[in-house]
Structure formats: C-alpha cells, structure tokens
Amino acid sequence: MKHSADDENEVHDVARFQDAARNVVTPVLRLPADTALAVVNAFAEIVRNAKRSRVATTPDRDGVVRSQTFEEGDVYMVEAPFDGFFADRYLMDFYDVEQRGICSRMHLHTGLRLVRMMTGPDTQIRVSSLSPFEVTDVPGVTPFLPRTFQDTLPDTPEDVTRTRHNLVVPPCSFVDMQIPRGVSHQFNAVGPHAVIDSVHPEESIETFRERMSGYRMTAQTVFLAEDLPPADTCVNLPT
C-alpha cells in the first residue's frame, strides 16, 4: 500500500485512486447536551493528560510512543498491541477547524479501522469520502439518519475533478464508522467538542507487512493531497 513505509507524508495520485470498498456508518445514539459534553470532555482529558505525561511521550520497550499528533487532532494510544494481540486503540481529541483555519486532508489507511465519533453541544463532524457511504438503518433501533450531501473535492490538481461524498455527525451523538483497508475518508470537526475512539485491528500486522519501523498514526496513512486545504472547504454544512 505504501511506497515507503516510514514516510509520514506519502501522497498518492488522487486522479487515479479508486476506493477498494465503501465506508459503513452506523448511528448509535443521541444524548442530552450535558451528558454528551461530560462524556466528550472525559475522553478529551485523557488525550490532554497524555500530552503532558513523560511516560506517554517517551518510547516504551516496544518503541511505542502513546501520545501522538495527527492532522485531525491529538491522539493517545490507550491500548497498545502486544505479542498475540495485534490490535490497538486510539483516542483522538479533534481540532476545531474553524479555530485552526485549515481542514484535514482526504486519506486512507493500510489497515482497516473502526471509529466511534462522539460529539458534544454546538459541534458537528463532517465525514467525507470519494465513495458514497452505506448507512445502517434498522427500523425501531437506529436513532436517526445523518444528513448526506455531495460537493467537489477542493484540493486536487488543476485538471482533476473528484466528487466528494459527505455525511454530518450531529451534535450530542455517537456514530460508528467501519473503514475497510484502502478506502478514502476525511474527518473535520466543526465546533469545540469532538472525539474519536478508534480501534485498529491490523496494526501490528501492518507493521510487518509494510515493514514499518514503529507504531505511528502517520505510518499507516496515505494522503490524497499535498497540502491541508483552508477551513472554508469543510466548515460549510447544509442546514
């Protein structure tokens, strides 16, 4: 999947890229505003504490640095893989794209992911892909259906046009997304209260397969754009 496993900014040709499958989105629940805020803040505080921790910011005996940074937000490897258990789990404290002024890039991973997106009050997450989303809808169980819309991927070469499919995680909600290996996705939080709980079931397998030298978010990532686009390419959400 990667040309150079340890390249932290490897970019593939967006004009020729085709998704290997589709992302599957499952709305899980809606919460009262005060409950949602308490849950999101509790997860975010774990990530923030890790940034201040000498242990979490220092390689352990397996070379794992638990506190890391990705362009979507700060991350903490709350559960690391070990011999006989090749999955790991990350928490991500999202950046607010309006506050930062830039959006994250469309990208893909060399291994599959399961992410649970959680939002608090006055916060939405715009999820994007180059393929349409499949949304789980079980009557009587699925609590809501997220809004979807299409636009044009902004960060492409001058002669390239790609349709971007978008889905909006509303405030005070939990939404899961199953991301198959090699499928494009892009997360941007619009608002201050958003976290992700992300399980990576192939992490150590990827390390051996891709011949990576360590466990890093960027080591398993392939980008589909050179630069981070401006905030106005991801903050505008339909009402």
* Model confidence pLDDT, tens digit, residues 181-229: 999 999 999 999 999 999 999 887 877 777 777 777 677 899 999 999 9
**Cα three-residue angle 197-22-68, rounded to 5 degrees:** 30
How far apart CA 37 and CA 237 sit, in angstroms, is 21
How far apart CA 139 and CA 113 sit, in angstroms, is 26
Which pTM value belongs to this model?
Answer: 0.94
Residues 6+ apart with CB under 8 A from 159: none
% of the chain at pLDDT higher than 70 = 98
Query: Residue 218 in contact with residue 4, Cβ under 8 Å?
Result: no
Confidence at 97, pLDDT banded by 50, 70, 90? very high
Phi, psi of 62 (to 5 degrees): -95, 5
How far apart CA 50 and CA 60 sit, in angstroms, is 14
Q: Which of 123, 222, 129 is nearest to 173 (CA)?
A: 123
| Cα dihedral 111, 213, 71, 151 sign | negative
For residue 239, what pLDDT is reported? Answer: 67
Q: Does domain 24-225 have CATH number 2.60.120.10?
A: yes
Domain boundaries, the chain: 24-225
How far apart CA 150 and CA 128 sit, in angstroms, is 9
Query: Residue 186 in contact with residue 76, Cβ under 8 Å?
Result: no
Query: Residue 82 in contact with residue 230, Cβ under 8 Å?
Result: no
Residues 6+ apart with CB under 8 A from 35: 172
